[in-house]
Amino acid sequence: MEYFFELFLGGLTRGSIYALIALGYTMVYGIVQLINFAHGEIYMIGAFTALIVISVLTMMGWNQIAILLIAAGVAVIYSSAYGYTMEKIAYKPLRQAPRLSALISAIGMSLFLQNYVLLAQTSDFLPFPGLIPDFEFMEPYAHIIGSPELVIIITTTIVMISLTFLIKFTKIGKAMRATAQDRDMAMLVGVDVNRVISMTFIIGSATAAIGGVLIASHIGQINFYIGFIAGIKAFVAAVLGGIGSIPGAVLGSLILGWTESFFTGYISSDYEDVFAFIFLVVILIFRPAGILGRSTAEKV
Amino acid sequence: MDMEPILDVKQLTMDFGGLRALDSVDLDVSQGEIVALIGPNGAGKTTFFNCITGIYDPTGGDIMITAPKNGRTQRINGIKPNLVTEKGLARTFQNIRLFQNMTVLENVMIGCHCRMKAGILGAVLRGISTRREEEAVIQKSYSILKKIGLEKYVNEFAKNLPYGAQRRLEIARAMATEPFMLLLDEPAAGMNPQETRELDELIVKICETEGISILLIEHDMKLVMSLSDRIFVMDYGKKIAQGTPAEIRKNPAVIKAYLGEEIDA
């Protein structure tokens, strides 16, 4: 039973990370119907930014928790700036173009950012310090769940709750929902759609950066390629939950996290990705629009 | 009553490739007027609305507005729809385009937002002024819904409203943007006679008590004749007549456009 709990919490941790990244995919898709393939790169850039800040501050001998918070803050700001700029450069000029063009542009952006980091940094794996300390009160449970996992789960929960609040109750949230449902009409009732789209990219990038910092400090190493795998997994999670739906992205991520965790725990860790994708295929056969996605009949 | 028009459209032309959808159309609306734009299907009425509200950038001509509030005259050709709305023109659609998955109240609140000052930072931090503004928006939205007679539906999803109520909600949402002029595209389409009568009263009320001028496209001639101060008639992208309802009824060009030419025996 204890083993089951361990796997359960491990899956929850993975799922939380996927969710932080999947949010960006699903929000952007909901608003501009674009699969932003460069989103995983934003997450990678978040991790790199944090590493640079951490290295500098560690040399100055700061307190660990302060370093972590500042690094996460800088990573969020930096990644948001990247997300914002990326939309302006690569997607906004193509907004009236066929959807495939924007998709190609996204793939190009993804390759560009990967190679940019490869050239600017290095192709090697860089060690990322595990800055989350082991809390004393966690000691009795340490064999089931570590402090870093706990921090990841709690952080994700806080981010999700704030995001739900933002979307449901604030002015920008309403504007986002309106834009997602009918962009032209939103403009006609005075919504500045360009601003809404920018905000969507900024929010998505910020959550991805938080995910980047958390998982990098959990796993302990990063390189320029981590965005690709994490991005694909999160994208799968978003599709699984029903792309365009925020609760769907969270649900899809958790399911993916648990699937991986349980299959690797009970069967074999060699086929982790295989299990995840088999599960995806099976779900999509029965629910083509994802678990919470609505299959919309095209109006004629 | 020789007032300066609040909407003055001169020589408006719109080409789609080789097709001239609008050909040098003139039209003007004065403060407090109800003006109808009529014409057979495909005459270019909706294209005309789309040009005015910034959905299309017209090929030629001028669209001038004079906001009654400050009396400033501006040319609004080709500016973005959200800016047109900010300047005080609001519209509804021929086919209902509500935010279906939002509540009635939220639909109206969205309209109010373009008059709000709080930025994104305020929305996140929820300062006192932001919260006060939100309160004010909710109050205002309630009062608009009350005026339109939708107060009992406040928390329903827009998609669950009966058809007539959905049409009225479109008008409520448009009013929330505090326009000086409303452009209604076939507001009575699909309504039964009872609903149409109520709509007639509602439009007159909006014009008289709120001081909002109205420009409407409508096919229901009974409604048009009883409601309008003046009527403009279009056919094949050109304006073929203008005048009071009595004048339009007798105008031979209009009769020809609608019924075809009389055959001389």
Q: For position A273, what pLDDT does the model report?
A: 80
> Are B123 and A170 inside 8 Å of each other by CB?
yes
Q: For position A296, what pLDDT does the model report?
A: 57
Is the pLDDT at A62 greater than 90, yes or no? no
Q: How many Å lie between the alpha carbon of B198 and the closest alpha carbon of chain A?
A: 24
User: What token pair was written down for B49?
Assistant: 């609305």
Residue type present at position B165: A
Query: Is the distance from CB of B79 to CB of B92 less than 8 angstroms?
Result: no
Residue type present at position B187: P
Q: What is the pLDDT of residues A194-220, one digit of tens each?
A: 999 999 999 999 999 999 999 888 888
Is B136 an 8 Å CB contact of chain A?
no
* Three-class DSSP category at A170: coil
> Are A190 and B109 inside 8 Å of each other by CB?
no
Q: What is the pLDDT of residues A215-240, one digit of tens each?
A: 888 888 898 888 888 888 899 899 88
**Average pLDDT value for residue range A146-171:** 90
Query: Among A24-28, A269-273, B78-82, B144-148, whose mean pLDDT is lowest?
Result: A269-273
Query: Is the distance from CB of B55 to CB of A193 less than 8 angstroms?
Result: no
Query: Is the distance from CB of A27 to CB of A246 less than 8 angstroms?
Result: yes
Is the pLDDT at A292 greater than 90, yes or no? no
As a whole number of angstroms, the distance between CA A132 and CA A261 comes to 22
Query: pTM value?
Result: 0.84
As a whole number of angstroms, the distance between CA A42 and CA A91 comes to 15
Q: What is the pLDDT of residues B25-66, one digit of tens each?
A: 999 999 999 999 999 888 899 999 999 999 999 999 999 999
Q: For position A218, what pLDDT does the model report?
A: 85
Backbone angles phi, psi at B32, to 5 degrees: 80, 5
> Are A171 and B118 inside 8 Å of each other by CB?
yes
Q: Minimal Cα distance from A198: which residue of B?
A: B120
Torsion angle (degrees, nearest 10) of CA B191, B195, B199, B202:
-150
Within 8 A of B85 by CB-CB distance, chain A residues are 187-190
* Three-class DSSP category at A126: strand
Q: Which CATH architecture has domain B1-88+179-265?
A: 3-Layer(aba) Sandwich (3.40)
As a whole number of angstroms, the distance between CA A225 and CA A246 comes to 26
Query: Is the distance from CB of B13 to CB of B61 less than 8 angstroms?
Result: yes
Across the interface, which of B81, B100, B123 has its CB nearest the CB of A172?
B123
Please count the residue pairs, one from chain A and one from chain B, whose beta carbons lie less than 8 angstroms apart.
77
Within 8 A of A184 by CB-CB distance, chain B residues are 55, 81, 97
Best mutation target among A95, A158, A171 (most B Cβ atoms within 10 Å) is: A171
Q: Can you give the residue ranges of every domain in chain B?
A: 1-88+179-265, 100-178
**Matching residue, tokens 């990322």:** A128
Q: For position A245, what pLDDT does the model report?
A: 86
As a whole number of angstroms, the distance between CA A114 and CA A165 comes to 33
Q: For position B1, what pLDDT does the model report?
A: 44
The three state secondary structure string of chain B is CCCCCCEEEEEEEEEECCEEEEEEEEEEECCCCEEEEECCCCCCHHHHHHHHCCCCCCCEEEEEEECCCCCCEEECCCCCHHHHHHHCEEECCCCCCCCCCCEHHHHHHHHHHCCCCCCHHHHHHCCHHHHHHHHHHHHHHHHHHHHHCCHHHCCCEHHHCCHHHHHHHHHHHHHHCCCCEEEEECCCCCCCHHHHHHHHHHHHHHHHHHCCEEEEECCCHHHHHHHCCEEEEEECCEEEEEECHHHHHHCHHHHHHHHCCCCCC
Is the pLDDT at A124 greater than 90, yes or no? no
Q: For position A163, what pLDDT does the model report?
A: 92
As a whole number of angstroms, the distance between CA A36 and CA A106 comes to 6
Torsion angle (degrees, nearest 10) of CA B105, A193, A163, B138:
-20
Beta strand spans in chain A (E): 126-127, 221-222
Query: Is the distance from CB of A261 to CB of A14 less than 8 angstroms?
Result: yes
Average pLDDT across each block of 10 residues of chain B; the chain has 265 residues. List them in order.
Answer: 79 91 92 92 91 92 89 88 91 89 92 72 66 86 91 91 90 92 91 90 92 92 91 92 90 82 63
